[in-house]
Copies of this chain bind each other. A is one copy, B any other.
Amino acid sequence: MTVDPRLSINQATIKYADLATALKVTADAGVQSIGLWREPVNEVGLDTAAKMLADSGLRFSTHCRGGFFTLPEGSERRASIDDNRRAIDETAALAAAGAEGSTAVLVLVAGGLPEGSRDLVGARSRVHDALTELAPYAQEAGVTLAIEPLHPMFGSDRCVVSTLGQALDLAADFDPSVVGAAVDTFHIWWDPQVYEQIARAGREGRISTYQVCDWKTPLPADVLLSRHYMGDGVIDFASLTRAVVETGYDRDIEVEIFNQEVWDTDPATVVARTAESFAETVSPYL
């Protein structure tokens, strides 16, 4: 089987693999690109991780993840902003170490409502404040901050940014090379405005990354783990991929699956199955 050259394996899909294993199984499968997570990178240290990535010959597509911007001012918020600066540094270093065509994109999850709060409007305004604070640092580093709208079922405890349109509204005050949006099928497939907002994101130059995985019910007890291989659920990858491609998006496309059964499977098997699923559901529309 030919592996699609634009496929990128997001490391969360093979969550239990350490960095060395993740790089090896991805490259061995003939996949050309990988998206990394901060924890396994920091487990070996940034310099070592960058060297390992360079040695793998893989492109680097995104770094996951920064964000968690909804706390009011105070030491915890300061710690979070500082941590995001480190994440920006990591993103720049890894993008520089990856093969040609790597992209310096840091995926941001906005954060949920602070404990005891019912003020979504206030939480969202603090996300904007954090972007304002971090944008100059990201610009200096050549990193794009990709706001990721999460499915509304995570709207209270994880991410107060729930639609692509809302992410684009948040991004509007910033240069598109500095603040964009993550377009993840799992989070936005249901949105009646999804096609118009993908087209808008394209026009505004803000599709920082396109990520795919499928939605299926019933949801598992932990809804965070309800992602599936493309084709196993109900998402219309043909229409969504066509919409993204029509905007001119020509970068890598990540597969990010949080799923206990997938995590419990041998990572090489998962990467092979992911490549197959991608070839069947996404590649025909590229």
Which chain A residues in 86-133 approach chain B with CB under 8 Å? 113, 117-121, 124
Q: Is A136 an interface residue (CB 8 A)?
A: no
Closest-CB distance, A220 to chain B (whole angstroms): 8
Q: Is A76 an interface residue (CB 8 A)?
A: no
In the complex, are the beta carbons of B120 and A190 less than 8 A apart? yes
Residue with the greatest number of chain B CB neighbours at <10 A, chosen from A161, A190, A216: A190
How long is the Cα–Cα vector from A192 to B222 in the complex, in angstroms? 25
Q: Is A236 an interface residue (CB 8 A)?
A: yes
Partner of A223, one of B118, B120, B153, B215: B153
In the complex, are the beta carbons of A219 and B152 less than 8 A apart? no
Q: Is A250 an interface residue (CB 8 A)?
A: no
- Kindly specify which of A32-40, A44-52, A139-147, A162-170 makes contact with the partner chain: A162-170
Residues of chain A touching chain B, judged by Cβ–Cβ distance below 8 Å, are 113, 117-121, 124, 151-153, 155-157, 161-163, 165-166, 169, 189-192, 215-219, 221-223, 233-236, 239
Supplied contacts A117-B234, A169-B192, 8 more A-B pairs, CB within 8 Å = A120-B189, A120-B190, A120-B236, A124-B192, A151-B153, A155-B190, A156-B216, A221-B221
